[in-house]
């Protein structure tokens, strides 16, 4: 795996953010991530009139990851409407952990930060005796 192109991930996150469907919160979110085979996957939030059913941008990203061939997430950038780095919500940290593990780097205002810092002592597939990623 070559160098992580953080600027490209940032651009892709800002671009997909513009596709968000967020008429209730007016808080569009975009996220883009590098996969271990070099692909870039992305997602935006999709809200619903039944507010609690809204999907975070990271949900779309994980769906894109799986439907485009799976693999492991290496690095991710999430942004708000202004393009500022956005903190993934707690539920989405869990979603990201499943597909990137402790070493997935997530961009923060302090720089790339591993999931082991964002979600310490995470519960994951291994706790269930499952090893989906080998």
Binding of residue 58 to ligand THU (CB under 6 A): yes
3 catalytically annotated: no
Span interacting with ligand THU, options 7-15, 49-57, 61-69, 120-128, rule CB under 6 A:
49-57
**Judged by CB under 6 A, does residue 95 bind ligand THU?**
no
Is 22 a binder of ligand THU (CB under 6 A)? yes
Contact with ligand THU (CB under 6 A) among 25, 66, 68, 84? 25
In whole angstroms, what is the distance from residue 6 CA to residue 131 CA? 29
Catalytic residue among 3, 42, 47, 58: 58
| Catalytic residue ranges | 58
Q: Which residues bind ligand THU (CB under 6 A)?
A: 22, 25, 27, 29, 45, 47, 54, 56-58, 88-89, 92
């Amino acid at each position: 795996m070559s160098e992580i192109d953080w600027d490209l991930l940032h651009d892709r996150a800002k671009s997909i953010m513009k596709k968000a469907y967020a008429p209730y919160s007016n808080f569009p979110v975009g996220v883009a991530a590098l996969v271990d085979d070099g692909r870039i996957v992305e997602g935006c939030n999709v809200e619903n009139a039944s507010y609690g059913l809204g999907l975070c941008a990271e949900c779309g990203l994980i769906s894109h990851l799986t439907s485009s061939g799976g693999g492991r997430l290496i690095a991710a950038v999430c942004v708000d409407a202004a393009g500022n780095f956005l903190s993934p919500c707690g539920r989405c940290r869990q979603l990201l952990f499943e597909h990137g593990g402790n070493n997935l780097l997530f961009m923060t205002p302090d720089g790339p930060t591993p999931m082991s810092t964002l979600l310490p002592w995470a519960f994951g597939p291994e706790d269930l005796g499952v090893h989906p990623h080998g």
